Structure 1
Amino acid sequence: MSAPGARERDAIAHVREAPMLANTLAWAGVNSGTGNLAGLAEMAERLVGAFGALPGTCRLIDPAPAERVTAGGRVEPIAHGRHLHLIVRPEAPVQMLFTGHMDTVYPIDHPFQAVTELPDGRINGPGVADMKGGLALLLAALEAVEAVGTPRLGYEVVINSDEETGSFSSAALITAAAQGKVAALTYEPALADGTLAGARGGTGNFSIVVRGRSAHAGRNPEDGRNAIVAASDLAVRLAAAKGPGLAVNPARIDGGGPNNVVPELAVLRVNFRPASREEIARAQAVIDAAVSAVAREHDVRIEVHGSFNRPPKPVDAGAERLFALVREVGADLGLAIGWKATGGVCDGNNIAACGVPVVDTMGVRGGAIHSADEFLIPESLAERAALSALTILRIADKGRP
């Protein structure tokens, strides 16, 4: 543990003057649910105005094509908002990546739209923790780093518009930005007590379309092929694959119709949470075997859509070094930094899969995310911005975590 030097003290002082709470409140006032394209466009322009004040090239990138399966079994494109991409000093010898997301889980018609201050001083509002506050402190940290001068450091910032639904239209952008980086920081919220996420499992989401044959339920049911029954059988078989390293959640079956008609269509939605790449392979084998058996035994056609879009994120040697640096910086700031494994996923999973050490909960302290009780602890803005600024400066000075 050591006291911050003059340069670091200057960065901390700069952070304390940044309008992080004002930015958080203003940005949380914009509904930017993943499907609200108008709100995302407004949010993107505001972020370009803010992050565009940093040196380098800041622009909005069109989303890559993405698809979804409708309740009727059709595959159709999904529209997404544009993604912010900032590149600063790409010729510098030390390169880092910073990521965040501008979208929230609250659609335009969700009842949770207002920001309020709670009696204990916490801020309750849509996206204040996840992650409008994180974006505000990232901006403050980078402004502080630029203010004290870091010619050896170059970096990219990616703020996507679809993280909450899997980053399907931004994954390629993040992967490209991760190349050649010595470390990455992502601004998902920490827990209320400051605990960071360590190892993460992966995730895979699938929509499995089952096509049977309709028939009269009373006159000739034997001529039908019941897609609902087949989909249910498939759900049970997939659920049976769960184990210590694999959670399986058949979440929904779309389909069916009048009681007197054998249903010819069903769509099974299922989520997998593998703890390792070996569990991904096992899950894929289970899917293949179950689909083949159900198709044969129920005489139905089955189409599988989806993928394991978030690989598991272990804490490897590189991540251990980065976490150790963050803990060291925290100690110098009087903060106790700890971390623990979590079942949640984020863009940190994809960054780690590129071989880049990442700490993906460098955002505010808060909690109850994805609910109308979401809250931000406002004093954590300056606290965590200082943590980021000093971490970045030390990586720039050392050339690595």
Structure 2
Amino acid sequence: MKVPAVSALLDRIAAEPMLDHTRAWAAINSGTRNLDGLRMMAGALADAFSVLPGELSLIDPAPAESVSTDGTVSAIEHGRHLVLRVRPDAATRMLFTGHMDTVYPIDHAFQDQRFLDDNTLNGPGVADMKGGLALLLAALKAVETSPLAGRIGYDVMINSDEETGSFSSAALIADLARGKVAALTYEPALADGTLAGARGGTGNFSIVVHGKSAHAGRNPDDGRNAIVAASDLAVRLFSAKQEGLAVNPARIEGGGPNNVVPDLAILRVNFRPASPEAIDTAQAAIDWAIAEVAADRNVQIDLHGSFNRPPKPIDDGAATLFALVKDSGADLGLDIGWKATGGVCDGNNIAAAGVPVVDTMGARGGAIHSTDEFLLVDSLVERAALSALTVLKIAEKGGL
């Protein structure tokens, strides 16, 4: 059995209602904290993806926590995650992932869609990644029409919390990645079609400083100023930045009236390590800074958070998968290139599980996470065909 002719595949995919799906799904506000919107989105996706063979389920989110502005730790609610398992006993199996959440909360001003020209749709989540989900569905439907389909099994995972770090779905991603020959994730490509290659990692931390209150005029020396301690901590952590490790102390919360020595402060800080060694360097800097500031300022410091997305290098397996995607692109008349990026996504988590992944197989677009977000409509057919060809070549070869 051979991969079908490109013209036949393109005709099959062009008949799919990808733009209609994109617009209908983008009309649903599914900001990560909008649980009602996520329920609607999960239902719409379940209806759409149920045309594929296999078992579809909505998985409850794993527990996740957040540190509030008063220093308390509480559970965060998330939406359910969609999982579709197709031919789980196949010798060759792949993983396809996407996310149903967006960065636009229910009260955000950006809720509507409009065409900027015949090929450019502006709207919330149209590129990141309602368009990507639509073309993934079209690609898999095309795969299922091929005689090669029986040679490959796959899992589809669409989570509800990617935009905030995938804390309630990380374990699910790792579990589904196990045993897969390759994975494709549907973050948007750049407007010119360039894919993301190597990615740095990320770590987000909330560091709670407990000082001691006192009157700012009568007995300030009896207090322990938590704002000062948090500021000291921010400066020390910032000094740990180096080549391959970015450090961003992003916010200090706390304090109160001007005449009271503040007894509580929360420092929010983000690290961007480019390698596992940089994670070790960052963790050592965190441990050192906390110990030093706690001793020097006579305060209690509690650390919350983790390096939730490890760096994603282009190893041999990833290079082979990229080459296969490039070869599929050439069959479609596309010159597929990629470049390193400092951004992170669920592709980091998949790579950490030892599975080769290309994580920008979605639509071409840009200005994501802003009111200028746009989708290039002609990329829906183009990128769905790119995915379908890549999957069918893996099916034909029985792997990479």
TM range (shorter): over 0.9
| In 1, Cα distance between equivalents of 2:13 and 2:341 | 30
Query: Which residue number in structure 2 is paired with residue 204 of structure 1?
Result: 203
Query: Which residue number in structure 1 is paired with residue 15 of structure 2?
Result: 17
Query: Which residue number in structure 2 is paired with residue 342 of structure 1?
Result: 341
Paired amino acid for 1:362 = M
| In 1, Cα distance between equivalents of 2:264 and 2:20 | 51
Alignment size in residue pairs = 398
CA contact (8 A) 2:3 2:389 kept: no
- CA shift at 1:8, angstroms? 4.8
| In 2, Cα distance between equivalents of 1:7 and 1:172 | 39
| In 2, Cα distance between equivalents of 1:245 and 1:90 | 39
- Superposition RMSD in Å: 0.9
| Counterparts in 2 of 1:233 and 1:44: CA distance versus 1, 3 Å | same
| In 2, Cα distance between equivalents of 1:46 and 1:169 | 21
Is residue 385 from structure 1 mapped to residue 371 from structure 2 by the alignment? no
CA contact (8 A) 2:3 2:393 kept: no
Secondary structure of 2:110's counterpart equals: coil
CA contact (8 A) 1:12 1:389 kept: no
| In 2, Cα distance between equivalents of 1:9 and 1:277 | 44
Query: Which residue number in structure 2 is paired with residue 236 of structure 1?
Result: 235
Report Cα offsets for 1:59-99 as digits up to 9, x if no partner: 10000000000000000000000000000000111100000
Query: Which residue number in structure 2 is paired with residue 39 of structure 1?
Result: 37
| In 2, Cα distance between equivalents of 1:6 and 1:197 | 28
| In 2, Cα distance between equivalents of 1:88 and 1:76 | 37
Q: TM-score, normalised by structure 2?
A: 0.98
Alignment of 1:185-264 (within 5 A): 185-264=184-263
Query: Which residue number in structure 2 is paired with residue 29 of structure 1?
Result: 27
| In 1, Cα distance between equivalents of 2:254 and 2:214 | 15
Secondary structure of 1:151's counterpart equals: helix
Secondary structure of 1:126's counterpart equals: coil
- CA shift at 1:11, angstroms? 2.8
Unaligned runs of 5+ in 1: none
Paired amino acid for 1:104 = T
Secondary structure of 1:400's counterpart equals: coil
Query: Which residue number in structure 2 is paired with residue 266 of structure 1?
Result: 265
Secondary structure of 2:53's counterpart equals: coil
Paired amino acid for 1:122 = T
- CA shift at 1:12, angstroms? 2.5
| In 1, Cα distance between equivalents of 2:87 and 2:307 | 34
CA contact (8 A) 1:197 1:339 kept: yes
| In 1, Cα distance between equivalents of 2:4 and 2:349 | 36
Report Cα offsets for 1:190-215 as digits up to 9, x if no partner: 00000000000000000000000000
Report Cα offsets for 1:234-259 as digits up to 9, x if no partner: 00000011111000000000100000
Secondary structure of 1:113's counterpart equals: coil
Report Cα offsets for 1:83-124 as digits up to 9, x if no partner: 000000001111000000000000000000001100363000
| In 1, Cα distance between equivalents of 2:394 and 2:330 | 16
Query: Which residue number in structure 2 is paired with residue 172 of structure 1?
Result: 171
Paired amino acid for 2:79 = G
| In 1, Cα distance between equivalents of 2:228 and 2:318 | 46
Unaligned runs of 5+ in 2: none
Paired amino acid for 1:126 = P
Sequence identity percentage: 71
CA contact (8 A) 2:4 2:146 kept: no
Query: Which residue number in structure 2 is paired with residue 78 of structure 1?
Result: 76
| In 2, Cα distance between equivalents of 1:304 and 1:246 | 20
| In 2, Cα distance between equivalents of 1:300 and 1:20 | 56
Paired amino acid for 2:133 = L
Secondary structure of 2:323's counterpart equals: helix
Secondary structure of 1:362's counterpart equals: coil
Q: Decide which moves more: 8-17 or 217-226.
A: 8-17
Show structure 1 runs of 4+ deviating over 4 A: none
Paired amino acid for 2:233 = L
Secondary structure of 2:314's counterpart equals: coil
Q: Decide which moves more: 116-125 or 385-394.
A: 116-125
